[in-house]
Amino acid sequence: MHLLFIADPLESFKIYKDTTFAMMREAQARGHQISACEPKDIMWQRGGPVTAFVRDITLNGDPVHWFSAAQQAPDERGQAIRAFDAVVMRKDPPFDSEFFYATHLLEQAEREGARVFNKPRALRDHPEKLAIMEWPQFIGPTLVTRDAQDIKRFHAEHHDIILKPLDGMGGTGIFRVKADGLNLGSITETLNRDGAQTVMVQKFLPAISAGDKRILVIGGEPVPYCLARIPQGGEVRGNLAAGGKGVAQPLSARDREIAEAIGPVLAQRGLLLMGLDVIGDSLTEINVTSPTCFQEIFDQTGFDVAAMFVQALERAVERAMGKAIDKALTP
């Protein structure tokens, strides 16, 4: 297959931990051809297909200059997105306006015959903080509001709370307010911008001390190991980007229960890969834009998450091609 990865600049990859790199490495090892571009390289003009200006790359094993490219800016090769066997959308958050527009361009490419994973509409329909609302049986006490009085009432009920922006990533913008309510008003004003922006508020879960678990689900099936991201140095955040320590461990019975309930449903909607964040027994987020932790799990357990992903991608493309052939043959 010829695969297009839409991602952040290749030169920015930290390949010792980058999940997109792990996907590319496995795809190349299985004989697939790889191209790459950024969302800014996607273009549509009336009368033509959605086009990406790509670099055709080869991974070379060098730990620093890890790829060679047949094209360099500004001489990328223009290619209709529908011409690739599969497109893997791996642009990191935030889910801002430009990400949103990119999903619309990719959805038009789908109308033209492209096969995109994760599906653009599914990316739009499942914002990572708010997607948990569909599964209230698995989440702890949670409030979504822009009203400061709602937040005060929630704090009065639960005493120890976490506040976070809906568009945050890597633990940025997360605050804890304990029973004394110290700085609750100031934190609320910062996050909700005096009522102009919606905030998520959750009851603090003491189980964070054992880690914020990232459970990966591929093709509706949970990876058998999760990565518990354990806060360090008095931090309340377990995110690796915030200094958390990643410890791989087998899924618990509760982890598997959550993954097996959510995974098949979201896979049917076009989410080939998702990352469920679980603290203790409670689901806190559903990550769909560019879930990570492939390499950390592999390094600590030997379970090859990238191989599981590429195999699932191959099966998904085969199914999509089969459906396209059946449709073409149907009178």
pLDDT tens digits for 113-155?
999 999 999 999 999 999 999 999 999 999 999 999 999 999 9
Architecture (CATH level 2) of domain 141-204 = 2-Layer Sandwich (3.30)
Q: Active-site positions?
A: 129, 164, 214, 229, 237, 277, 285, 287
Decide if domain 207-317 falls under CATH 3.30.470.20.
yes
Which residues on adjacent β-strands are paired with residue 228? 213, 247
Q: State the span(s) of the chain assigned CATH 3.40.50.20.
A: 2-124
Q: State the span(s) of the chain assigned CATH 3.30.1490.20.
A: 141-204
Work out the angle at residue 269's Cα, subtended by the Cα atoms of residues 140 and 218, and round it to the nearest 5 degrees. Answer: 75
CA–CA gap between residue 300 and residue 247 (Å, rounded): 8
Indicate the CATH number for domain 2-124: 3.40.50.20
What backbone phi and psi angles, to 5 degrees, belong to 231? -60, 145
Judged by phi (left if over 0) then psi (alpha if -120 to 50, else beta), residue 195 lies in left
Q: What is the pLDDT of residue 173?
A: 87
Question: Could you tell me the CA-to-CA distances from 306 to 33, 57, 178, 292 in Å, in that order?
Answer: 16, 18, 40, 11
Q: What is the pLDDT of residue 60?
A: 96
Q: Which residues of the chain have pLDDT under 70?
A: 234, 242
The answer to whether 34 and 28 are in contact (CB under 8 A) is yes
Q: How many CB atoms lie within 10 A of CB 302?
A: 9
The answer to whether 211 and 225 are in contact (CB under 8 A) is no
Q: What is the pLDDT of residue 51?
A: 98
Q: What is the pTM of this model?
A: 0.93
Helix (H) or strand (E) holding 175: strand 175-177
Q: Positive or negative, the Cα torsion across 134, 137, 139, 142? A: positive
